[in-house]
Structure 1
Amino acid sequence: MAKVTAYRQELKGRILKESIKEFKKNGIKQVKMDDIANNLSISKRTLYEIYPNKEELLLEGLRAEHEERNLEFMRFMAMGNRSVIDVFVQFFKMEMRSFATVSPLYFSDIHKFPNAVSYLSELHEESQSKSKEFLQKGVEEGFFREDVNFEIVSRMGQATMQHVMQIQLYKQYSLQHIFRNVILLLIRGICTQRGVKVVDEMLEKL
């Protein structure tokens, strides 16, 4: 019984890994459950026993990715005292790495799955609170301007990326290129002269 349970857990992990890889590469709608079963050489029945539908599979994948990102960030923070610029550069590196391997269809398809949208909305609310703490710390450290309304800046960033997806700008430029230009414009715009200097120096090393 223990062997069966261990096998199921291992198989569940393989299914999740393969599915997210395919979703990101080709878009969620374009990947069929049959494709996933065939890629892993398992029966459709076995796949549906573990994940009854694509949305549940997607949701589990989003949760796993969020947990993995959190662990990576925690390891980074545990390596020593980190300034807000250190944190920003690490976030920038992680996002650029993520955008390098994902199809724009993945992001547009996610919004067709209500449970996934609900989960991402929850994460967004959590990140908003953390962002405020991060930005305030940046002011205290002398890297961010204190005369900036960060609520407006945050909403501008969200609106910009939403507009990028709506007008399908990713057909003209890569998501990596778009993200780099948007995030650098926003972060440098809220920085003090000292902050701009440090950000530019650190990004030159990437």
Structure 2
Amino acid sequence: MEKDEDFLNKVSQLFIINGAKTVTMDDIAKELRISKKTLYQNYTNKENLLEETLTYSIEKVLNKMRNLDEKIENAVERMFARDEEIERASKTNDSILLRQLVKYYPQIFNKHMLYFSEKLSEILVHNVEKGRAQGLYRNDFDAHLYSKLYFQMTMTYDNSPYLDTTQISRNKYQQESLLFYMNAITTEKGKGILKELQRS
């Protein structure tokens, strides 16, 4: 059995649809039409497979984000670029997978969220450096700290005790979080582009 993208994609979908706790190694072997023996030769237990699947899924999203960085030169415009894969990943936040990860596999969940936070922070800091060079972002703030604050803000939609999710949709919350962050870091020149993007 090869540990290829197709395999990890299929396993990832099983976990997303059914949950990390619910899906068994039997289910995976049956769904992917491989023997349990072959599966266990590659993964000693479900937790190993879950970890590899999460790492793969996170890297896929991060690579998409890095590619957007390369394609879009203007730092402010890049922050407003939409990508279907990233959108799908953010919607996974309210999935059964996430709820079961938090409840049954908190160590795995925390480890991967920390990893995602660190890597996303690197991408955001790169964007800040680019924006500063373009005169679009202020120089008088800590890019690393602001990237962490932004990440924390965007990830709290499902579990903040102060947010009534019946009153604000996930999409609206994500948009407002981005605007909050962008208004905090842009120069007057950057704010001009920000206003143009909001009008279009």
User: How high is the TM-score relative to the length of structure 1?
Assistant: 0.69
Counterpart pick for 2:179 among 179, 184, 188: 184
Does 1:137 find its partner at 2:130? yes
Q: Deviations over 1:71-111 (max 9, x none)?
A: 445554555x7121243234x53532423466433334444
Q: Are the counterparts in 2 of residues 145 and 192 from structure 1 also a CA contact under 8 Å?
A: yes
Counterpart mapping for 1:72-91 below 5 A = 72-73=64-65, 75-79=67-71, 82-90=73-81
Closer/same/farther in 2, CA of residues 25 and 188 from structure 1, 3 Å limit: farther
In 2, the alpha carbon distance for the partners of 1:200 and 1:34 equals: 53
User: How high is the TM-score relative to the length of structure 2?
Assistant: 0.71
In 2, the alpha carbon distance for the partners of 1:45 and 1:193 equals: 62
Counterpart pick for 1:98 among 78, 81, 89: 89
Q: Are the counterparts in 2 of residues 25 and 103 from structure 1 also a CA contact under 8 Å?
A: no
Number of residue equivalences: 195
Which ranges of structure 2 fall in alignment gaps of 5 or more residues? none
Q: Deviations over 1:9-39 (max 9, x none)?
A: 17x5443211111222343223333322232
Alpha-carbon distance, 1:130 to partner: 4.4
State the one-letter code of the partner of 1:184. Answer: L
Percent pairwise identity: 22
Does 1:125 find its partner at 2:118? yes
Q: Deviations over 1:25-63 (max 9, x none)?
A: 343223333322232233333322332322211221233
Which of the pair is proportionally richer in helix? 1
Computed over aligned residues only, the root mean square deviation of the Cα atoms, in angstroms, reads 3.5
Q: Are the counterparts in 2 of residues 104 and 175 from structure 1 also a CA contact under 8 Å?
A: no
Alignment match, 1:47: 39
Does 1:9 find its partner at 2:8? no
In 1, the alpha carbon distance for the partners of 2:195 and 2:18 equals: 34
Q: Deviations over 1:112-170 (max 9, x none)?
A: 25345334424433443443343233233122233445455334324434543324869
State the one-letter code of the partner of 1:142. Answer: G
Which ranges of structure 1 fall in alignment gaps of 5 or more residues? 1-7
In 1, the alpha carbon distance for the partners of 2:54 and 2:197 equals: 30
